[in-house]
Amino acid sequence: MSNLRFTEHALSEWMRGSGQDSDIVISTRVRVARNLRQLPFPLLATNQQSGEVLSILTGVIQEGLCEEGTPAFHIIHLDELDDLDKKVLVEKHLISPNLANESRNGAVVLNDDESISIMINEEDHLRIQCLYPGFQVMEAWEKATELDDAFEEKLDYAFDDKRGYMTSCPTNVGTGLRASVMMHLPALVMTQQINRILSAVSQVGLTVRGIYGEGSEALGNLFQISNQITLGQTEHEIIDNLHSVVLQIIEHEKNARAKLLNDSRLRITDRVMRSYGILSYAAVMESKEAAQRLSDVRLGVDLGLLDGPSSSVMNELNVMTQPGFLQKKFGESIHLGDRDSCRAKLIRQTLSGQQQEPC
């Protein structure tokens, strides 16, 4: 099976599924960071040492990481990919920007449906990431723990009895656990409650980022909520805290949506229909406008105001409209202006169910 398929298709197979409160929680991710005791961490490692890490970890995977019946893993060496393929993997949340741009002897290990992504020689030697549709933080954590335990049976992790798992960045020391959910919160934005809610979130050990993590922008009313503290709390406490806070945010968003329908149904319907019409017929579409229009349409479908595209189609469009995927689809040499027209054409074809044609 060619590894190129991971960058040729915008929609990861796991995103075709559904989970709890999937109208508000788009996806759940749990990631654990680990390092090998006997070798320098990636930031200080020589090329030879990072190559040794790569050899050790891929060897463990090739020997058989999990129990019989687990889907096969595909090892992709980053130096075998061009910059565009790396960018697409970032846009699909399968690798981090750091792994794409700065790693030495970096690799990513993916399973068939792309719900498991194991990054090698990123900021840490090993980063195990599990992705689930909807709000499934407990399920994602259990799968990440299963994989982590399988690695730990065969590796000597860098671990301190007082501090826990040692990592390159002090903010990950302790459990090394990052759990996050991607939330679509348009009603809280429209009712101007979002700043108050996000401020409250930061007071309970959680942080809010954009769609690609730290330093990225919250486009299309998509917010990534994750734990900020990894030291001084158990994994159970981190997961439970995120779970309970996200449930409260979901409730606030549901109440805000109900208020919009009760107070401004006609105005919201008009906004949804206008965005759907523009997406269906526009000849040029910038990425920020596409994100906002897609957010409006997703909200309209969720509220029953529009008999429009399925959630999997919306998820696919969120990736398809990104710069990297557009260049992958239509040619790396397309200029910025042409990219906007190609984006519009791709959206029109997808919404109408037409076969996608060259730009």
165 annotated to a ligand binding site: no
Per DSSP, 219 falls in state: G
3-state secondary structure of 174: strand
Ramachandran angles phi, psi of 207, nearest 5°: -135, 155
93 annotated to a ligand binding site: yes
Is the pTM above the cut of 0.85? yes
28 annotated to a ligand binding site: yes
CA angle 169, 82, 182 (to 5 degrees): 50
295 annotated to a ligand binding site: no
293 annotated to a ligand binding site: no
127 annotated to a ligand binding site: yes
pLDDT per residue as tens, the chain (359 positions): 456 778 888 889 898 888 899 999 999 999 999 999 999 999 999 999 999 999 999 999 988 765 554 558 999 999 999 999 999 999 999 999 999 988 889 999 999 999 999 999 999 999 999 999 999 999 999 999 999 999 999 999 999 999 999 999 988 999 999 999 999 999 999 999 999 998 899 888 899 986 655 545 668 899 999 998 888 899 999 999 999 999 999 999 999 999 999 999 999 999 999 999 999 999 999 989 999 999 999 999 999 999 988 988 999 999 999 888 988 888 766 776 788 999 999 999 999 887 666 67
What single string gives the DSSP state of each residue in 277-297? Answer: HHHHH-S---HHHHHHHHHHH
